[in-house]
Amino acid sequence: METVFWLSFIFIVYVYFGYPAMLAILRRLAGRPVQKAYYEPTVSIVIAAHNERQRIEKKLLNCLALDYPKRKLQIIAALDGPTDGTEFVVWKYARQGIEMSHSPEHRGKSSALNLAMRRATGEIIVFADVRQMFDPAAIRELTANFADPQVGAASGELVLMDESRGEAKSDVGLYWRYEKALRAMESRIHSVAGATGAIYAIRRELYQELPEETLIDDVVIPMRVVLAGRRTIFDPEAKAYDTVACCPLAEYGRKVRTLAGNYQLLTQLPQLLLPWRNPIFVQFLSHKVGRLLVPYALMTLLISNVFLLHGVYALFFSLQSVWYISAAAGYLFSKRGVSAPILVPDESRRVA
């Protein structure tokens, strides 16, 4: 049991602390900076949307106001079977150059992207969601990365804002900053193991149609680029803005979808698990697969600890008990719509 306990403990520590430390060392020893240079290729922005009547107008106006030549910018609203009249809002902007790809049936985001890509003409394709707003210079910053011929895809930075319009310092905001620090180091070494769905770009010729059931296009598309021998990089200068989730349950739903999508990814692209095929095998295993296995490691850590209640193990068991009781209390309070009492400082909480 001691062996199981310590193996589980070491694995968890490696995923969240050891791996970032390893990246920090590799970045200094084997960093590969992107040869970024500003130029103006033709760009198609593809905005995926389902029932977004209340928000899509703001997004279209945001895209029309971007600091990029209008003659080189194509904006496509990829509508996935809306039933709330979203298409009528988009039609209002047809005279301003907004194009629409409209599927009469709700078939999922991947299907909407595939349909929109059939009319996309840009050398660079930028994928976006409705909710997040682009910084005016976001497209210029993204496209500058493609001056480097090794770059096949580029992810921008999603900045989470709080109610005061400053960068969020809540548990979700802090965890997202930790995640972005990882991506920046991975990008410096070779590639990131996924992109930010709110703002990422790809060379048009590298796009392959997605299976309709795909849950996380922002991981499948960039990883296909990596498998094709190009880099997928992270550029913090290309920004999009969003607010933190309104409540724990909203964040929980997003996390469930992301984790399910990561499991699905292994079935869609099994070659990612082959070190001779995947040039970022260690990063992928540590960042993506490691996160999938952490819940099981936590389970074996707790179970083995039950049989080891002496010495330092008693302290570990007490800490785990407090952690899980706090998590359960937080969940119950969130279900009732009540703020949970603070058992630990905000800065020490983490979203799994």
**Which tens digits make up the pLDDT trace of 258-280?**
778 888 898 899 999 999 999 99
Q: Give tens-digit pLDDT for 78-109.
A: 999 999 999 999 999 999 999 999 988 898 99
Please give the domain boundaries of the chain with CATH numbers for all domains.
43-268 (3.90.550.10)
212-262 per-position pLDDT tens digit: 889 889 999 999 999 999 999 999 999 999 986 655 555 566 667 777 888
Under 8 Å between Cβ of 225 and 269: no
State whether residue 160 is helix, strand or coil. Answer: strand
Q: At residue 40, what are phi and psi to the nearest 5 degrees?
A: -130, 75
What pLDDT, on the 0 to 100 scale, is given for residue 110?
93
Characterize the bridge pairing of strands 231-243 and 43-49.
Answer: unpaired
Among 183, 154, 158, 182, smallest CA distance to 168 is for: 158
Q: Are 307 and 325 in contact (CB under 8 A)?
A: no
